[in-house]
């Protein structure tokens, strides 16, 4: 039965998630972005964090985290409710307030955006609120907040089958909402939006097939009421995957994405991770910096997080599967015997230099779609893998900024097939949501909190 549910789950996720690159769109000449050159120094990386404080390099002292029982957040019967991938953020923690948004469908043909919040750090929740009344599909929902300003973005196909970016905004912490508004307007496929907040500015990134699957960028200085001109933020004409920006209290923008930039189709069409930064709110960006180089493997859906000057990124990677022939576009939903592992990498100097890749899992299964959160020296990673025959949610953490890691923790025990996770954290807790398939057509959104003791 689990195997049947696994197949059904993959098929429905493929339709619910707007898949990234792989199709061609209409060619439109994008705006040109100035690309000042930077020198990436090849030197010994010093273990110095933000403001010069010494990072804890002692052996890992396991964090004491007590996890709550998973709580279902959606409430409609026979509902198909879907969160989004980790780099897209379906949850935001702002002080004691926890905001969550998801896509929900009752018919399979239409879906809408729903929202709920907790005012006491996830102890109790308000009833879910339906924010849209769509004749089409609202997919790939992403949320962020900055005090009373709460912003939700998603991909909507009410105007055309390729989808456009829509957004809805609240300026009273989620009590009331504006009318949903269309942001993009083109004939190409649009997908996978993600929001970051830095220095009170909302930064939105997404994929758009102009002319191929490229990363795009816009910003708002007023909580999402108005937006800047849309700009291209990755190489023109090079396919990319889930561009997302690290959230940080203030400072530079740090962008990560997957790309075929240096791949050769005859050698496996391998994707790698790339990094760019901007010191002027996205007006100018550094040249792309290649972070991975595993020759024939494919890196998938990197996610980036930071605290001060220390940057952390995770992704899933099949470099260790020697039986798989890497040729053609990487699988969106890999077969159960295709080995992917979770990898991690960090920079201790604001992205100038990067350490070697670190493998976080070693189970011979499909470990996929990781999400990462950081609070000072504490780094939290969650992912899904099928080592026990069906997709389950795992997490592990480091208390010394990624130098060493504790043991894995299974969080979705006794639940059915689980996927599409996002992890967030603050000084007192770790917050995690995901989607679980309960039956052939029923999918629910679950939340757990880990209290740091």
CATH assignment of the domain containing 368 = 2.120.10.10
Residue given tokens 């930071």 in the structure block: 306
Residue 22 has pLDDT above 50, yes or no: no
Report the b/e string of 225-256 with b at 16+ CB within 10 A.
eebbebbbbbbeebbbbbbbbbbbeebbbbbb
Q: What is the mean pLDDT of residues 29-53?
A: 33
Dig out the tokens for 426 from the structure: 């603050």
* Predicted confidence (pLDDT) per residue in 169-191, tens digit: 999 999 999 999 999 998 888 88
| Alpha carbon distance 217, 131 (integer Å) | 24
Dig out the tokens for 390 from the structure: 């069906």
Question: Contact 123/451 with Cβ under 8 angstroms?
Answer: no
The three-state secondary structure class of 308 is: coil
Residue 5 has pLDDT above 90, yes or no: no
| Alpha carbon distance 308, 349 (integer Å) | 9
Q: What is the mean pLDDT of residues 394-400?
A: 95
* Predicted confidence (pLDDT) per residue in 248-278, tens digit: 877 789 999 988 777 665 455 578 899 999 9
Q: How far is CA 427 from CA 66, 167, 451, in A?
A: 14, 30, 10
Dig out the tokens for 237 from the structure: 């004409």
| Alpha carbon distance 424, 238 (integer Å) | 31
Confidence at residue 159, expressed as pLDDT on a 0 to 100 scale:
87
Confidence at residue 20, expressed as pLDDT on a 0 to 100 scale:
56
Dig out the tokens for 78 from the structure: 């026979």
Number of folded domains that form the chain: 1
| Alpha carbon distance 419, 17 (integer Å) | 11
At 294, is the pLDDT very low, low, confident or very high (cuts 50, 70, 90)?
A: confident
**Burial of 45: CB neighbours in 10 Å, binned 0-12, 13-18, 19+:** middle
What is the reported pTM? 0.87
| Alpha carbon distance 377, 374 (integer Å) | 7
Count the helices and strands in the chain (H runs, E runs).
1, 30
Confidence at residue 238, expressed as pLDDT on a 0 to 100 scale:
66
First to last CA, the chain: 39
**Burial of 416: CB neighbours in 10 Å, binned 0-12, 13-18, 19+:** buried
At 4, is the pLDDT very low, low, confident or very high (cuts 50, 70, 90)?
A: very low
Question: Contact 410/384 with Cβ under 8 angstroms?
Answer: no
- Is pLDDT larger for residue 340 or for residue 322? 340
Q: What is the mean pLDDT of the chain?
A: 83
DSSP label at residue 197: E
Residue 305 has pLDDT above 60, yes or no: yes
- Is pLDDT larger for residue 383 or for residue 3? 383
Q: What is the mean pLDDT of residues 70-98?
A: 92
At 321, is the pLDDT very low, low, confident or very high (cuts 50, 70, 90)?
A: confident
Q: What is the mean pLDDT of residues 139-151?
A: 96
Q: CA angle, 115 as apex, 109 and 119 as ends, to 5°?
A: 165
Residue given tokens 């279902």 in the structure block: 72
- Is pLDDT larger for residue 5 or for residue 193? 193
Show the domain range for 305.
Answer: 2-452
Confidence at residue 261, expressed as pLDDT on a 0 to 100 scale:
76
């Amino acid at each position: 039965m689990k195997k049947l549910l696994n197949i059904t789950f993959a098929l429905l996720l493929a339709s619910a998630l707007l898949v990234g690159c792989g199709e061609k769109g209409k060619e439109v000449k994008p705006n040109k972005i100035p690309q000042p050159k930077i020198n990436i120094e090849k030197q010994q990386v010093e273990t110095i964090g933000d403001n010069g404080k010494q990072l804890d390099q002692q052996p890992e002292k396991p964090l004491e985290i007590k996890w709550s029982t998973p709580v279902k957040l959606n409430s409609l019967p026979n509902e198909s409710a879907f969160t989004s991938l980790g780099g897209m953020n379906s949850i935001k923690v702002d002080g004691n307030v926890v905001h969550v948004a998801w896509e929900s469908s009752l018919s399979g043909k239409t879906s809408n955006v729903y929202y709920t919040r907790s005012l006491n750090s996830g102890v109790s929740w308000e009833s879910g609120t339906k924010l849209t009344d769509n004749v089409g599909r609202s997919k790939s929902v992403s949320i962020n907040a900055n005090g009373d300003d709460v912003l939700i973005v998603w991909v909507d196909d009410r105007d055309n089958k390729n989808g456009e970016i829509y957004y809805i905004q609240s300026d009273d912490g989620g009590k009331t909402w504006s009318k949903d508004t269309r942001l993009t307007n083109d004939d190409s496929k649009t997908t996978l939006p993600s929001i970051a907040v830095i220095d009170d500015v909302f930064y939105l990134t997404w994929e758009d097939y102009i002319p191929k699957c490229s990363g795009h960028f816009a910003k708002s200085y007023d909580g999402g009421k108005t937006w800047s001109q849309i700009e291209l933020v990755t190489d023109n004409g090079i396919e990319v995957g889930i561009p997302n920006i690290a959230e940080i209290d203030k400072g530079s923008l740090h962008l990560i994405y997957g790309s075929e930039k240096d791949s050769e189709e005859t050698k496996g069409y391998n994707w790698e991770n790339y990094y760019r930064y901007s010191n002027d709110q996205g007006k100018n960006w550094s040249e792309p910096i290649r972070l991975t180089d595993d020759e024939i493997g494919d890196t998938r859906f990197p996610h980036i997080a930071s605290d001060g000057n220390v940057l952390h990124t995770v992704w899933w990677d099949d470099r260790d599967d020697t039986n798989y022939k890497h040729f053609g576009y990487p699988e969106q939903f890999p077969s159960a015997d295709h080995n992917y592992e979770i990898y991690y990498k960090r920079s201790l100097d604001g992205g100038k230099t990067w350490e070697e890749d670190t493998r976080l899992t070693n189970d011979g299964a499909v470990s996929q779609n990781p999400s990462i959160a950081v609070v000072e020296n504490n780094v939290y990673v969650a992912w899904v893998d099928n080592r026990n025959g069906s997709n389950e949610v795992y997490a592990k953490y480091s208390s010394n900024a990624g130098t060493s890691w504790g043991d894995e923790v299974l969080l979705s025990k006794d639940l059915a097939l689980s996927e599409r996770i996002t992890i967030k954290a603050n000084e007192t807790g770790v917050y995690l949501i995901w989607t679980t398939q309960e039956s052939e057509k029923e999918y629910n959104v679950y939340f757990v909190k880990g209290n740091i003791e």
